[in-house]
Amino acid sequence: MTGLVVAMDGPSGSGKSSASRGVARALGLRYLDTGAMYRAITWWMLERGVDLADPEAIAARALDPVLSMGTDPDAPSVAVDGADAAVAIRTSEVTAAVSAVSAVPEVRRRLVAEQREIIGLGGIVVEGRDIGTVVTPGAPVKVYLTASADARALRRTAELTGTTVEAQRAAMARRDTLDSTRKTDPLAMAADAVELDTTALNLEEVIAEVLRVIKEKA
C-alpha cells in the first residue's frame, strides 16, 4: 500500500471528504484534500481585497500565498503564510467565491503542481474534482462519488450553520455548473473510474465499498 494512489472525485456533498479520510485511516495512508487548497487561495484573495470578478487580478496574485498541507487523515491541516486557516476557509463567503478562483488557469497550474509534489511516490488518498482526470491520471484506483441533489444538500446543511436545504441545493447546482463547464480542468469522471452513488449509503457503507474497489483494482 505504500505506493498506492487512490483518486476520489465527485461534487460537493457526495461524501468525498469523510469517505476519503476513512479509507486512508483504514489503510494507513496519507490523505490530501485538494479542495482545501483552492479554498485557501480563495480565502487569501478575499482577505487582501483582490477583485474575484477579474481573472487577471487573481492570476497576478496566484503564486503569492504560501500553503502548507497536513496529510494526517485524523488531523488534516491547512496553513496559509504560516497561519492555521482550517476554519477560515470553510466560511460561506469562501464557498461562494471558490469556483471563480478555481477556474483561473494560473491558480490551477500552481496547485496541480503542488498536489503532484505532495502525492510523490504514493501511499495516499487524494480527493477533489479533477484528481483522476488531471492531477494523477495514472492512479491505479479511481472512484467517482455521486449522490442525489437532495441528499447532497441535506449533508451540507448539517455541516453548516445559518443555511437551509433549499439554499444549499441552489448553491450546489450553481457550483456544479461552474465547475463542470470551466475551460481548465473541469469536474468530470475519468473513463476508468468506478462510479459510486452514495445517496442511500451511510459513511461506513461508503468506506466499505471504496475498500472493496481498492482490493479489486490494486
The residue extents of the domains of the chain are 5-217
pTM of this structure: 0.93
> Any residues with CB less than 8 A from the CB of 34 and at least 6 apart, and which?
111, 115, 126, 127, 128, 129, 131, 135
pLDDT single digits (tens) 23-70: 999 999 999 999 999 999 999 999 999 999 999 999 999 999 999 999
pLDDT single digits (tens) 164-214: 889 889 988 888 888 888 888 888 899 999 999 999 999 999 999 999 999
Q: 5-217 sits in which CATH class?
A: alpha beta
pLDDT single digits (tens) 163-175: 888 988 998 888 8
Question: What local confidence, expressed as pLDDT, does residue 18 receive?
Answer: 93
DSSP-assigned letter for residue 89: G
Question: What local confidence, expressed as pLDDT, does residue 171 receive?
Answer: 86
